[in-house]
Amino acid sequence: MLRIDNLNQHYGQSHTLWDLSFEVPENSCTCVLGRNGVGKTTLMQSIMGLAPKVEGSILFNDVNLVGMTPELRAPHGIAYIPQGRQIFPQLTVEENIRTGFFASRVSHNRVPSDIYELFPVLKEMRNRRGGDLSGGQQQQLAIARALVLEPCLLLMDEPTEGIQPTIVQEIGDVIQRLNTERNITVLLVEQKLPFARRVGSNYLILDRGRLQAEGSMSELSDELVHQYLNV
Ligand SMILES: Nc1ncnc2c1ncn2[C@@H]1O[C@H](COP(=O)(O)OP(=O)(O)O)[C@@H](O)[C@H]1O
Ligand SMILES: [Mg+2]
């Protein structure tokens, strides 16, 4: 589904991602793991066309995305939920969801009812402002907004950051439902290891911009965790 070959990225003189090559298998939930500052967000932004100076190839269903503008990438069926959620606090919940249509390949702009079915709390709060929602509700809103694109690949950058444990659980449930019931492939950046172990089918470990290890989540060893993930 997504195949990355020899990806390198620079911010000015600073070489951030080094020779990354890996695949995200269809229907997987692939977790990108690694400490702060190793390049996880930069990798997401490189895939979406939001990072400068990206070299190599990013094949999505055999189309090379490198060099394409972000606006042209989304209609291929990729959606991105950035770190920090970035919803519009002044817009209502419903208006926030509808902003997802700007990059849409679907022609209507009604909020599909199955989105509210996935997130009943957003239906209850659809006329409230985004800024009035709790962190967990805002994360659900960010996911809902990404789903109106009807993506086949969903990129999520630390969706559980700063969210209370009961809601973390719910977000995990939603990711699993998207993955298994809707066949959406998920590429998930995650710092919380128990969460990654629960929802992930396989993992990639980055350290200082390089891919250090990859495999199926059930085989992620304590040794790797100790070496690359523990602080
Ligand atoms: N816009 C930017 N300009 C320059 N350097 C950046 C920028 N964004 C991130 N970096 C640097 O790139 C490295 C990787 O950052 P990032 O991808 O955000 O890491 P992570 O998401 O793993 O915490 C860090 O050293 C960071 O300081
Ligand atoms: Mg990050």
- Mean pLDDT, each 10-residue run in order, the chain (231 residues): 97 97 97 97 97 97 94 90 91 92 66 86 95 93 92 96 89 93 95 95 98 98 94 68
Ligand 1 in reach of 25 Cβ (< 6 A): no
Looking from the CA of residue 51, the nearest atom of ligand 1 is: 1
Looking from the CA of residue 34, the nearest atom of ligand 1 is: 22
Q: What is the pLDDT of residue 129?
A: 97
Q: 53 in a domain, yes or no? A: yes
Q: What is the pLDDT of residue 202?
A: 97
Number of Cβ within 10 Å of residue 126's Cβ equals: 16
Q: 122 in a domain, yes or no? A: no
Number of domains in the chain: 1
Q: 141 in a domain, yes or no? A: no
Question: pLDDT (tens digit, 9 = 90+) per residue, 55-105?
Answer: 999 999 999 999 999 888 988 999 999 998 889 999 999 999 998 887 665
**H/E segment holding residue 79:** strand 78-81
Looking from the CA of residue 189, the nearest atom of ligand 1 is: 21
46 alpha carbon, distance to own chain's centre? 12
Looking from the CA of residue 38, the nearest atom of ligand 1 is: 22
Q: What is the pLDDT of residue 100?
A: 83
Q: 128 in a domain, yes or no? A: no
Q: What is the pLDDT of residue 18?
A: 98
Q: What is the pLDDT of residue 105?
A: 59
DSSP string, 36-76: TTSSHHHHHHHHHT-SSSEEEEEEETTEE-TT--HHHHGGG
**Structure pTM?**
0.94
Q: 106 in a domain, yes or no? A: no
Ligand 1 in reach of 138 Cβ (< 6 A): no
Nearest ligand (C-alpha, residue 45): 1
Q: 134 in a domain, yes or no? A: no
Q: 100 in a domain, yes or no? A: no
Tell me the residue range of the domain where 184 lies.
2-86+152-229
Distance of CA 39 from the midpoint of ligand 1 (Å): 6
Query: CB within 8 A of 215, min separation 6: which ones?
Result: 202, 203
Nearest ligand (C-alpha, residue 157): 2
Number of Cβ within 10 Å of residue 182's Cβ equals: 14
CATH number at residue 48: 3.40.50.300
- Asked if 141 and 130 touch (Cβ cutoff 8 Å), the reply is yes
Collapsing DSSP to helix, strand or coil, 1 comes out as coil
Class of residue 22 by CB neighbours under 10 A (exposed 0-12, middle 13-18, buried 19+): middle
Nearest ligand (C-alpha, residue 84): 2
Ligand 1 in reach of 40 Cβ (< 6 A): yes
Amino acid residing at 226:
H
Q: 136 in a domain, yes or no? A: no
Q: What is the pLDDT of residue 220?
A: 97
Distance of CA 83 from the midpoint of ligand 2 (Å): 6
